Amino acid sequence: MLRASLITIVIFALVLFQHCREPYDPAMENNVVSYLVVEGMINTDGVTTIQLSRTRRVSEKENRQVESGAVVEIESDNNNRYALADRGEGIYRSGFNALPKDRRYRLRIKTSAGREYLSTFAAVKLTPPVTVSWKQDSKGVLISGSSKDPTNQTIYYQWLTEETWEINSPLRSTFYIERTPAFRILQRTGQDRENAFQCWTNALSSNILTASTIAQSDDIVIGFPLVTILNGSDKLEVRYSILVSQYAISKEAYEFYEVMKKNTEQMGSVFDPQPSLVRGNVTSTTDPEETVIGFIDCSVASSSRIFITSQEAGNWKSSRVCQAKFVENDLTALRRELATDELGIVRAVYEFNPITGREALIGYDVANASCIDCRLRGTNVKPSFW
Amino acid sequence: MKLNRYYFILFLLLVVTPALAQERGTRISGNFRDLDIEQFAKQIESQTTYKIYFDQKQFDSLRVSLEVNDRPLNEVFDALFKNTAYSYAIDNQNRVYLTKGRTIDAELPTGLFAPAAGVVVARVETQITDLSVAADAGAPIANTENRIYEIGIKTSSLEGTAVLSGYMRNNKTGEIQVGAAIYIENPRIGTSTDQFGFYSLTLPKGSHTLNIRAMGIKDTKRRIMLYANGRLNLDVQPEITSLREVVISADKVANIKDVQLGVEKINIATIKQVPAVFGEADVLKVVLTLPGVKSVGEASTGFNVRGGATDQNLILFNDATIYNPTHFFGLFSAFNPEVVKNIELYKSSIPARYGGRLSSVLEVNGRDGNLKKVTGTAGLGLITSRLNLEGPIVQDKSSFILGGRTTYSNWLMNLLPNDASYKGAKVSFYDVNAMITNKINDKNDIYFTGYLSNDASNLNTDTLFGYKNMNASLKWKHVFNDKLLGTATGGIDRYQYNNHSNKGNVSAYNLDFAIQQLNLKTDFNYFLNPRYTIDFGLSTIRYQIDPGRYTPRGAESLVVPNIMEKEQAQESAVYLGNRFDVTPALSLDFGVRYSMFNYLGPKKINEYAPNVPRDPANLTGSTTYGNGDLIKTYHGPEVRLAARYAVTEDFSVKTGYNTLRQYIHMLSSTTAISPTDIWKLSDPNIKPQFGDQVSFGLYKNFRANTIETSAEVYYKRLKDYLDYKSGSRIVMNPDIENAVFNTRGKAYGLELMIKKLTGKFNGWLSYTYSRTLLQQDDPNAGELINNGEYYPSNYDKPHDVTLVSNFRISHRISFSFNATYSTGRPVTVPIGKYFYSGSFRALYSDRNEFRVPDYFRTDISLNIDGNHRVNQKTHNFWTIGAYNLTGRKNAYSTYFISEGQEIKGYKLSVFGSVIPFLNYNIKF
């Protein structure tokens, strides 16, 4: 009997908590909603960048729907206006401003459709300096930010990160393929070989990084986790850098981000709250009932950049596999194998023919194109800070 | 037997009657003192030529005290046996036959032996004392069907009515028998035993046959001769062979006869045979199979009755309020099935003695311990083990029952595969019950109940959720007389949670919450006459809430201790309930309850500008009240009306109307009772909830009441039910009125049910159509939800079909099968997406605009009993089964998260597959 019950228990254990989470795609057609989305921070001590976009349907594959052709201005509470220029792609950017810190500011937007929007006035918040540190454990590298406001005034923090890392092509190739108009294999120039070897790429933070010290006696943030680089990532293959911008934000902005975070990042256990509508502090003066998403606060960031090399990170190893495979020198076979630009030629393979007494081209080693040409993963223009 | 009786009549008519014509020459004189029948007969035989015949057994309780002077024998016996069950007959051979019990015997002498005019039995003293009723020490115990029990001091007049009352007990265990029906056929008068096993019947004087019907006992009857008000305790035999037959109601015609609508009674035998997850008999999961009862999902034993919220149910365990009736986040109910006797759910007509919650009252009644001998049970399951012990403290007077359950499933969690999301989760819970019943004397009983349940679990997070229920109550029951019964109950109920996190040394914290109530109440039942019963009483509750303590954990923690101000209040009520049978067909139940709630200091109360949302921006100031200061009083009447009209013996129509008030609120950011929910008292900024309900039902039984059918409809209104502002914070919010707004709600539905109670195949099938809608259309109260339109509540599930069935294969093996289907519950889902802060984010729909996929589940189990020999040392039985047989991944909830650049939708199911289980129980 003991044996029987043991078996039952094991079955039970296997089935109980597995498959508890399954993809779910509610059929939600015909929902055509297109609300204005406003994102950015008024910077009184530099360039202010605002992005305008619109909400899209869940089923739509395309990325953002940007809002172009709007007139965007920063407006102070004593009616001074500072224009932002439409830089395309929904990005609006001011010149380098040095605005009085004792005033309050808001954003005024007039879309090309003639609808007008205003954010609420926000006071200028100054941010204490940020310290960025990192540590390595069995999972990878964790980068975190710390700060301290001796005046106990900041309380609500937000961070934005910009990561940059160098990538080198593991395989070097002397060939490149021209697919149109005809399939041809051509020799690379020496310069092109160099250009395809060393590149840099970057990524902006994609999570909401906010913290509050309201429940603590001191306005101190210690080791707030910003970025985790898991083992095997190619970010630390050569050298890595991260720029952390820290903002002091208002309580309202913090709560806005908290709700957004709850709705979109933290859900997934049995006890999570119901989602709720996120609005923000932007309203339409044309139709106060209109839903607008976004929170425009006013803060002067403090920033810090650090570098980490692969040696410093315990001779970091990327899990990227760049293995070459042989394709015989036959035009049909080559065309078939190299039909898309995902693959490229690494080298030509010759074999000594004992009859002719010469080496003959018998085929090519091919590999993933991104292993050969780093420009497929980034840019070979060296960043100014590198 | 019948034939013999006729022969006997014939014998009397033909032989005895002619003999009466002549005067017997032999007369009797003497002073007889406390003689038994044998002594008395010998004395007569020595004085006369009469020979006296009788059955010793029939006369063993007879004592004769008589002074006669030269009287004929027939006069002596006439006087002696007047208005008793005894009779005599004298034949011409001077043989005297003494008999007892047969009505015909009692009547014949009055017709045939009419005393001659002028003949007076010149006696002063009492003539007969029947020992079976004489003993003042206690009421007689009626335990056989064949005897006639005589009640009251014999009088010559059988005019008018008398009250018969007493207790009914199981003769095997001494346990009181609750809800047993006792009735006479003609005229049809009946009652049922109350929660103490007490009954009171007003009957015409004379002889009657009491019919007794109840679950778990053999149908039986008792014959009585009622002379005057008196007591008769009934000992009844349990049905030993019964193999857990589905019996949902004590009385087979209760559904037709009860005045109240929407009352469900289920005894533990039924609960035990319903397959439950992991084979743990689960009191609350069975409640969920009843029409009109729903839950938001599998991991929530919190339930919704007729569109009410989970906090609108008053859950009582032997009069103690249980605030969190679940273990392990709702997977198991916190009631040990081994100490539970039965449950009663009132979902429509709530008796006037209950109040304080809007939706329902769930009474979980504990068993009494065995009064005769010490017994126990032990159970081994995959998740929990149980041990229960019960027995007499003083034989037949007081008994105890002790029960405990604990889990040992931590090892199971560690066995999980590495990618399972709950690998390494810690699960720990236990519950302990102790109950003592003590019969002081015939008029006084004392009951003690102690209850403790404890949980400490995490879900593989670094937060440990611990919570606890603690209850103790003492009840004193006093029988004033046959018509008036009173109880006084006092108790303390406490629920608390203690969550703590060790995450990050500087932010490690403890989070504690507690609610405690001290109760005192008295209840009286007055049996005015067989047609009119009155209940009345008083109750008061002192609530004390510790709304939150957030404190540092460990020396390194920088958490600032934040201790929220305690709050307290007094809730009192007085009630009067009447049950009046206007005619045998028409019965009324009408009551009124007046409740009052006093919110008391010390407390700081925020004040807000009028007619604007209660937001921090609209705060105008605050007032601080001192200890015990009266801050706010809410009060009002509640009416409870129900009427039943029995069209025929097996068809009745009922209707009811109720109003209720609820002064405490549970606040939760989730839909299930979870370990971070808090309870909040009404205060100047948070109004009490108010609800009323009108309902109507049809009840029809078929095939000699073996099949019951019912159809009920209801319409319910809710006022000032709390819903949450978007993204509101509930835990540790000192200004909680900022996070909530009042809604108006309406709920309506139709409930159909068919039950088969007896036979090899039994069970029930129910269908419910119900809607629950809420509305927030006051812009002054806060954000409008769904533009001020009605929106479905979180637990609005319109269609629900449930089948519970049991098939008895043999006396030892039975097979149970359950199936349930319901509409998926409403959720708020993304209708769009937008890019913000580096990711695509979901844009959510109107509140509760969409629904999760429909719910469907089937369970089976096989119950195997060891054997039924009564006299063996231990009895054991096995339960083998499978929960969620079809392996359907029923969605508990759905959610959408941004993973990198994508928004992904997931549905979450608590049980993703079929779950086999095995349970072993032993009874000793």
**pLDDT tens profile B519-576:** 999 999 998 887 899 999 999 999 999 998 989 988 888 888 889 999 999 999 999 9
DSSP SS3 for A9: helix
CB contact under 8 A, A206 and B893: no
pLDDT for A250 equals 92
CB contact under 8 A, B843 and A271: no
Nearest by CB to B844, from A216, A273, A275: name it.
A275
CA of B898: which chain A residue's CA is closest? Answer: A264
% of chain A surpassing 90 pLDDT:
46
pLDDT for A147 equals 94
Chain B residues whose CB is inside 8 A of the A58 CB are 830-833, 842, 903
pLDDT for A85 equals 94
Instruction: For B7-38, write each residue's pLDDT tens digit.
Output: 444 444 444 433 343 444 577 777 777 777 77
Cα separation, B902 vs B231, whole angstroms:
78
Task: Please tell me the distance in Å from A319's CA to the nearest CA on chain B.
Answer: 20
Nearest by CB to A271, from B670, B898, B911: name it.
B670
Q: Provide DSSP, B239-286.
A: -TT--------SSTTHHHH-S-SSEEEEEHHHHHHS--GGG---HHHH
Contact A262/B at CB under 8 A: yes
The two tokens of residue B392 are 């007499």
pLDDT for B850 equals 82
pLDDT surpassing 80 at residue B411: no
Cα–Cα distances in angstroms (integers) from residue B464 to residues A265, B502, B509, in the given order? 22, 9, 11
Cα–Cα distances in angstroms (integers) from residue B701 to residues B203, B459, B650, B750, in the given order? 27, 48, 5, 19
pLDDT surpassing 60 at residue B136: no
Nearest by CB to A262, from B727, B837, B906: name it.
B727
pLDDT for B902 equals 65
Note the Cα B15 to chain centre separation in Å.
60
Confidence of residue A9 (pLDDT cuts 50, 70, 90): very low
The two tokens of residue B6 are 């006729």
Cα separation, A327 vs A338, whole angstroms:
9
Name the burial class of residue B516, with classes exposed (0-12), middle (13-18) and buried (19+) by CB atoms within 10 angstroms of its CB.
Answer: middle
pLDDT for B783 equals 65
Picking from A270, A281, A287, A289 by the largest number of B CB atoms within 10 A of its own CB, the best residue to mutate is: A270
Task: Please tell me the distance in Å from B316's CA to the nearest CA on chain A.
Answer: 26
Among A135-139, A331-335, B2-6, B214-218, name the one with the lowest average pLDDT: B2-6
pLDDT surpassing 60 at residue A20: yes
pLDDT surpassing 60 at residue B391: yes
End-to-end, the C-alpha distance of chain B in Å comes to 43
> Looking at this protein, which amino acid is placed at residue B360?
S
Return the C-alpha torsion angle A127, A129, A130, A131, nearest 10.
-170
With CA atoms as reference, report the closest residue to B786 among B795, B777, B794. Answer: B777
CA of A223: which chain B residue's CA is closest? Answer: B504
Better-scored residue on pLDDT, A99 or A272:
A99
Strands B189-192 and A116-119: unpaired
pLDDT for B613 equals 72
Q: Number of A to B CB contacts under 8 A, please give it.
A: 232
Chain B residues whose CB is inside 8 A of the A54 CB are 834
Contact A80/B at CB under 8 A: no
Nearest by CB to A37, from B420, B834, B903: name it.
B834
Nearest by CB to A13, from B415, B560, B906: name it.
B415
% of chain A surpassing 70 pLDDT:
87
pLDDT for A304 equals 94
Contact A311/B at CB under 8 A: no
With CA atoms as reference, report the closest residue to A100 among A300, A252, A301, A302. Answer: A300
> Looking at this protein, which amino acid is placed at residue B43?
Q
pLDDT surpassing 70 at residue A333: yes
pLDDT for B643 equals 93
Task: Please tell me the distance in Å from A146's CA to the nearest CA on chain B.
Answer: 13
Give the list of residues 6+ apart from residue A380 with CB closer than 8 angstroms, or none. Answer: A195, A196, A198, A199, A200, A374
CA neighbours closer than 13 Å in the CB half-sphere of residue B771 = 9
CB B105 within 8 A of CB B81: no
Chain B residues whose CB is inside 8 A of the A14 CB are 417
pLDDT for A94 equals 93
Helix ranges (H only) for B755-856 are none
pLDDT for A249 equals 95
> Looking at this protein, which amino acid is placed at residue B833?
K
Among A44-48, B152-156, B448-452, B769-773, name the one with the lowest average pLDDT: B152-156
Chain A residues whose CB is inside 8 A of the B417 CB are 14, 18
pLDDT surpassing 70 at residue B245: no
Instruction: For A134-168, write each residue's pLDDT tens digit.
Output: 999 988 999 999 999 999 889 899 999 999 999 99
CB contact under 8 A, A20 and B908: yes
Top mean pLDDT of A114-128, A214-228, B141-155, B851-865 is at A114-128
CB contact under 8 A, A58 and B833: yes
CB B190 within 8 A of CB B181: yes
pLDDT for A29 equals 52
pLDDT for B535 equals 93
DSSP category for residue B425: -
CB B498 within 8 A of CB B550: no
Buried b / exposed e along B324-353 (16+ C-beta atoms within 10 A): bbbbbbbbbbbbbbbbbbbbbbbbbbbbbb
ipTM of the prediction: 0.84
Among B335-349, B484-498, B903-917, name the one with the lowest average pLDDT: B903-917
* Phi, psi for B289 (deg, rounded to 5): -85, -5
Strand partners, B605: B623
pLDDT for B412 equals 60
Contact B835/A at CB under 8 A: yes
Contact A8/B at CB under 8 A: yes
Contact A265/B at CB under 8 A: yes
**Averaged over B449-475, what is the pLDDT?**
86
Better-scored residue on pLDDT, B145 or B203:
B203
pLDDT for A161 equals 94
Nearest by CB to A8, from B419, B461, B916: name it.
B916
Contact A62/B at CB under 8 A: no
Between positions 709 and 738 of B, the ones with CB within 8 A of A are: 724-727
Helix, strand, coil percent values for chain B (each to nearest 5):
10, 55, 35
Task: Please tell me the distance in Å from A320's CA to the nearest CA on chain B.
Answer: 20
CB contact under 8 A, A19 and B913: yes
**Averaged over B878-906, what is the pLDDT?**
75
CA of B783: which chain A residue's CA is closest? Answer: A277
Confidence of residue B669 (pLDDT cuts 50, 70, 90): low
Query: Mean of the per-residue pLDDT values for chain A?
Result: 84
Picking from B559, B674, B726 by the largest number of A CB atoms within 10 A of its own CB, the best residue to mutate is: B726
Q: Report CA Rg, chain B.
A: 33
Chain B residues whose CB is inside 8 A of the A259 CB are 726-727
Nearest by CB to A265, from B382, B506, B897: name it.
B897
Cα separation, B95 vs B15, whole angstroms:
12
Nearest by CB to B832, from A13, A55, A216: name it.
A55
Chain B residues whose CB is inside 8 A of the A10 CB are 415
Cα separation, B863 vs B817, whole angstroms:
11
Instruction: For B477-522, write each residue's pLDDT tens digit.
Output: 998 988 899 999 999 999 998 888 876 677 788 889 999 999 999 9
CB contact under 8 A, A9 and B907: no
pLDDT surpassing 80 at residue B895: no
Strand partners, B802: B766, B820
**Averaged over A217-226, what is the pLDDT?**
90
Better-scored residue on pLDDT, B173 or B423:
B173
Confidence of residue A206 (pLDDT cuts 50, 70, 90): confident
CA of B733: which chain A residue's CA is closest? Answer: A215
CB A267 within 8 A of CB B897: yes
Helices B103-112 and B2-11 meet at what angle, rounded to 10? Answer: 20
Top mean pLDDT of B176-185, B264-273, B685-694 is at B685-694
Cα–Cα distances in angstroms (integers) from residue B99 to residues B55, B68, B90, B93, in the given order? 7, 22, 11, 18
Instruction: For B682-723, write each residue's pLDDT tens digit.
Output: 999 999 999 999 999 999 988 877 888 999 999 999 999 888
Confidence of residue B108 (pLDDT cuts 50, 70, 90): very low
pLDDT for B125 equals 33
CB B538 within 8 A of CB B522: yes
SS (H, E, C) B704-721: CCCEEEEEEEEEEEEEEE
Picking from B301, B783, B837 by the largest number of A CB atoms within 10 A of its own CB, the best residue to mutate is: B837
**Averaged over B837-863, what is the pLDDT?**
84
pLDDT for B16 equals 40
User: Strand ranges (DSSP E) for B114-180?
Assistant: 128-130, 141-142, 148-151, 161-170
Task: Please tell me the distance in Å from A9's CA to the nearest CA on chain B.
Answer: 7
- The residue to which tokens 């209109």 are assigned: A290
CB contact under 8 A, B901 and A206: yes
Task: Please tell me the distance in Å from A73's CA to the nearest CA on chain B.
Answer: 20
Confidence of residue A275 (pLDDT cuts 50, 70, 90): low
Name the burial class of residue A367, with classes exposed (0-12), middle (13-18) and buried (19+) by CB atoms within 10 angstroms of its CB.
Answer: buried
pLDDT for B360 equals 92
CA of A21: which chain B residue's CA is closest? Answer: B908
pLDDT surpassing 90 at residue A91: yes
CB B29 within 8 A of CB B70: yes
CA of A217: which chain B residue's CA is closest? Answer: B560
Return the C-alpha torsion angle A332, A333, A335, A337, nearest 10.
160
pLDDT surpassing 80 at residue B802: yes
pLDDT surpassing 80 at residue B205: yes
Strand partners, B268: none
Better-scored residue on pLDDT, B246 or B287:
B287
CB B903 within 8 A of CB B264: no
Nearest by CB to A217, from B507, B558, B727: name it.
B558
Query: Mean of the per-residue pLDDT values for chain B?
Result: 80
Between positions 269 and 288 of A, the ones with CB within 8 A of B are: 269-278
CB contact under 8 A, A294 and B838: no
Instruction: For A293-304, write each residue's pLDDT tens digit.
Output: 999 999 999 999
pLDDT surpassing 60 at residue B117: no
- The residue to which tokens 């709700």 are assigned: A259
**Averaged over B322-335, what is the pLDDT?**
83
Give the list of residues 6+ apart from residue B46 with CB closer than 8 angstroms, or none. Answer: none
CB B462 within 8 A of CB B501: yes
pLDDT surpassing 60 at residue B133: no
pLDDT for A166 equals 93
Confidence of residue B870 (pLDDT cuts 50, 70, 90): low
pLDDT surpassing 50 at residue B787: yes
Nearest by CB to A18, from B382, B843, B912: name it.
B912
CB B176 within 8 A of CB B368: yes
Between positions 655 and 684 of B, the ones with CB within 8 A of A are: 669-672, 674-676
CB contact under 8 A, A264 and B917: no
